[in-house]
Each structure stands twice: as structure tokens, then as C-alpha cells.
A and B are shown apart, each in its own frame.
Chain A
Amino acid sequence: MNWDSSEDYQKIALANKLYYEKNANHYDQT
């Protein structure tokens, strides 16, 4: 990530990415 986002922003963005990659199957049914 190269825009001037903070470390916290990047951390939360990463958590979102990992969470939704892991739980994507749930959204296959919606």
C-alpha cells in the first residue's frame, strides 16, 4: 500500500482481506 495510510489503517485493511478470503464461502449463498 503506497498512499499515506497509517499503520493502523493497513492493519485493519489486512484483517478485512484475510477475514473475507477465509469466509468467502458464506457469501456464495447470499
Chain B
Amino acid sequence: MKVIKAMLESGGRHSSIKALDACGGSGNAALKVLELGMEAWLCDQSQNLINIFEKKCSKKGYECHFILSEIGQYLATTNDSYDLIVFSSALHHLEDYESVLRLALKRLNNNGMIFSSFDPIKWRFPAKQIVKIEYIVFKLLNDFGDFFPAAYRRIRKVFSSRQEKENRAVKEDNLGELAEFHVDQGIDDDRLVVQLKLHGAEIIWHKKLCKSRYRFFEILLSVLGCKTNFKLLLKRI
């Protein structure tokens, strides 16, 4: 984030840099932005998460700005503009992340940038299989209470038809699965980059990374040349 701030400043932005933490949740990215002396606005549709963000801001003495809205709705209807829009672990939660990014591009100031990180790339063998094993280990060690319910949800998903999946209504027991909408398939970041370029974006970074909760799996993935996540930094031409 420090590097991005330096890039924005070298692009001529010297007054306060205004950043939006899109789908910001409890504000992890917004707090990093605030720590670097930028002005942060957080957009999220959960009042409970915004309350937590407010609490964190007040604890650290930061001024708290937030927008209670679904991100697509906000970007499509606002006249606000930003020097930086951050999507931190957010794109895979959006059914149509490409449209949302295109809306975000329109809300950038001159030389403004969009930074996206912590989203899974489109899975390729054997990365998906290794990450699944890693997830089982994680559930066993850190969330054992949900281990069997999660196994049941997985089995049900495997045996449900595509039509059933598409028609699945929002219910208490499948909220997590629907919320993590693109985790199973990952995001086709190469295609996304092509599409964004066609819609007036200049790609500054497009990095593929190898990430895991555990060092062992990270080494294994790395040795096998598997990538799991991607980062994008782009601006509007």
C-alpha cells in the first residue's frame, strides 16, 4: 500500500489522497490506508461490520467515513470520486465482479488507481486439490465444530445438478457458500485483465501469487509452480 501511495503522489496527487475500501467489511484495508495518512471511506452493506470499523477507528483516533450500501449500487449511483479504490478479498464475493470494476473505473479521479488483492485465480491442477487438502487441515485444526457440517455441504454440492445449484435459494445453511461465490472456480484473472483493458484500464501490476495458511502447503505449491491468488493495480487511461 505504501508503494501505491508513493505512485499516487508521483502522479501529482499531493493533497490528501481519498481512498475507498470497497466491500470493506470491518475495515482491514481502510485502516491500512488511514495508517498511511490517506483519507479512507469504507463501503459495505453490513451495518454490523461498519459498527466494528467505527469502533476500530475510534480506538485508534481516526476519522471514520462509511457508506452503508451494496458496492455495485453505490458505484452506479454516486457522484463521489476517489484517488484509490481498494478491493481486498472482495471480487470473489461479487457475482459480476467485472461490471463492478468497470463502475469503479468511472469513479476514479485523474491518475486514480484501483487495487485488488486476495482473490483466488482460476484453479489449475494440482493447485485446487492441494488447497482443498489445506482447507481440510484448517477445518480440523481451527474450526472442528464446522468440520462435519462443511463436509455435508460439500457432498450435497457435489451431487446437486447444475440447475439445482443455479436455482438454490438464499437460506441460512448456504449463506457462506453463496457469499464465497467464486472461490470454487476461482477468477479468470487473465480474461479479466483483457476485458478491463478493453474498457479503458491500464494495467500497472498483474501479479500471480502462491499463498497458503500454512508454510508447508505454500512450499509445496511453490515447488509445483502453482499460483493461488492474484493482485491487480490499474488506472484509467
Contact = CB atoms under 8 A, between A and B. Distances in A.
Interface of A: 1-3, 5-6, 8-9, 11-22, 24, 27-28, 30
9 contacts: A12-B94, A12-B181, A13-B94, A19-B175, A19-B176, A24-B26, A27-B26, A28-B55, A30-B26
A17 B26 contact: no
Interface string B175-192: 110110100000000000
Given A6-B95, A15-B170, A18-B175, A28 B73 contact: no
A5 B77 contact: no
A9 B72 contact: yes
B49 A13 contact: no
A30 to B, nearest CB: 7
Contacts of B49: 20-21, 24, 27
Which 7 A-B residue pairings sit nearest by Cβ, starting from the closest? A24-B48, A15-B178, A3-B76, A19-B175, A27-B26, A12-B95, A19-B179
- Chain B binding surface SS class: helix
B179 A12 contact: yes
Interface of B: 23, 25-26, 28, 44-49, 51-52, 55, 70, 72-73, 76-77, 93-96, 99, 166, 170, 174-176, 178-179, 181
A22 B175 CA distance: 10
Contacts of A22: 175
Contacts of A17: 45-46, 70
Nearest to A12: B95
A5 B96 contact: yes
A8 B95 contact: yes
Given A12-B179, A27-B52, A20 B94 contact: no
